[in-house]
Amino acid sequence: MLNKKTVEDIDVKGKRVLVRCDFNVPLDENRNITDDTRIVGALPTIEYLIKNGAKVILCSHMGKPKGEPKPELSLAPVAKALSEKLGKAVVFAADDNVVGENAKKAVAEMADGDVVLLENTRYRVEETKNIDDFSKELASLADVFVNDAFGTAHRAHCSNVGVTQYLPVAACGYLIQKEIQFLGNAVNNPVRPLAAILGGSKVSSKISVINNLLEKVDTLIIGGGMAYTFMKAQGLSIGKSLLEEDFIGYASDMMKKAEEKGVKLLIPIDSVEASEYSNDAEIKICEGGIDDGFMGLDIGPKTIELFSNALKDAKTVVWNGPMGVFEMPNFAKGTNAIAKVLAELDATTVIGGGDSVAAVNKAGLADKMTHISTGGGASLEFLEGKDLPGIVAINDK
Ligand code: ADP
Ligand code: MG
């Protein structure tokens, strides 16, 4: 997965380059963009292409229009924002069928360095089903293809996978290149020791991640809600903490596997327990198991110390899933402490998972991490060791 063609490996001068971006930005009720991180993130690839004389045709999905035009999910606001950021006109091709008269005309009139943005690709019902008609139509606008949308890389859609069948070259942009480099190296070619920290609410959502990472890591740290299923498997009492009964056996198997592989697997030795799921609940620190009538909502101080020590010598750390209910201040200490440890480590630190990234941002430590993955679901599948169709479809060097 690591040896993919990038924009710099292909000839773009005078070429019509179709770029799949991730412009799935949040809008308020007046269709103002409330967070332009994704637009800013797409600029390096777009600016490179403009500078090198490409005709830049951008496409993306936004939200879930479910295969029909929905004006409130039009990419028109993105065209405006992009135009401001690039300091040049971005022609918006407002076709309900995405590749329609406006798009064809706009592309036909392009000079080198011009930028056209197509309408929301999910206006077309074919898009998420990867049906050829739409892939062919998209390809008919361009000479080469560039994928820079990591967030959808775990899906095979027309605009990131289907289209590559009908164009001679598919390369990745800088965003995907960075994801492959950091996520890929962290898991498949890490500087050791490699530690992974897993948390979040459910064991069941991260089964394949745990299983795959046990093949790769030197240390596996488990916190968050999923830790209680592991504690239960060890015979500890867990009160009314989050438990997935059906996965107790799985947790035991994973602990056995860790032992066989010589992986150090750590689970919490104390917790912040609460009488109910509320920031205003009565709270206590408890060692070992959880008291009857209480639930564990964060890792405790001794666990913070245990985990911090285990991370001290790590040279690569992958983190997915918060250590507690970080949305409530009383249960955010564990997550913040671990974020701080990672921020100060002399190691490659890679953060994936929507909530973990939010937690690191909230702690103001994002710029202290080596890499923050932009794709929640995609980064999870990467950690599961799966081949992502959107990345497979990019040509090798
Ligand atoms: P990510 O998005 O980083 O992959 P998840 O979606 O798996 O993470 O899990 C995040 C959620 O897990 C958060 O909403 C957090 O409140 C919840 N969580 C963490 N620890 C606990 C706990 N001990 N009990 C209940 N929920 C928890
Ligand atoms: Mg999440």
| Structural domains for the chain | 7-176 (3.40.50.1260), 190-383 (3.40.50.1260)
Q: Tell me how far the alpha carbon of residue 267 lies from the centroid of ligand 2, in angstroms.
A: 20
pLDDT tens for the chain, 397 residues long, are 568 999 999 999 999 999 999 999 999 999 999 989 899 999 999 999 999 999 999 999 999 999 999 999 999 999 999 999 999 999 999 999 999 999 999 999 999 999 999 999 999 999 999 999 999 999 999 999 999 999 999 999 999 999 999 999 999 999 999 999 999 889 889 999 999 999 999 889 898 899 999 999 999 999 999 999 999 999 999 999 999 999 999 999 999 999 999 999 999 999 999 999 999 999 999 999 999 999 999 999 999 999 999 999 999 999 999 999 999 999 999 999 999 999 999 999 999 888 999 999 999 999 999 999 988 889 888 889 899 999 999 999 9
Instruction: State the pTM of this model.
Output: 0.89
- Amino acid sitting at position 237: S
CA 324 to ligand 1: nearest atom: 20
3-state helix, strand, coil in the chain (%, to 5): 40, 20, 40
The dihedral built from the CA positions of residue 394, 377, 324 and 258, taken in this order, carries a sign that is negative
CA atoms within 13 A on the CB side of 170: 23
Residue of the nearest CA to atom 24 in ligand 1? 225
Catalytic residue among 202, 264, 315, 368: 202
Q: Are 348 and 191 in contact (CB under 8 A)?
A: yes
Q: Which residues line ligand 1 (CB under 6 A)?
A: 199-201, 205, 224-225, 242, 296-297, 320-322, 324-325, 327, 353-356, 376
Work out the burial of residue 34: count CB atoms within 10 Å of its CB; fewer than 13 is exposed, 13-18 middle, 19 or more buried.
exposed
For a substitution probing ligand 1, which of 197, 231, 272, 325 has the most ligand atoms within 8 Å of its CB? 325
Q: At what angle do helices 37-51 and 76-86 cross, to 10 degrees?
A: 60
Q: Which residues of 218-241 are buried (b: 16+ CB within 10 A; e: fewer)?
A: bbbbbbbbbbbbbbbbeeeebbbb
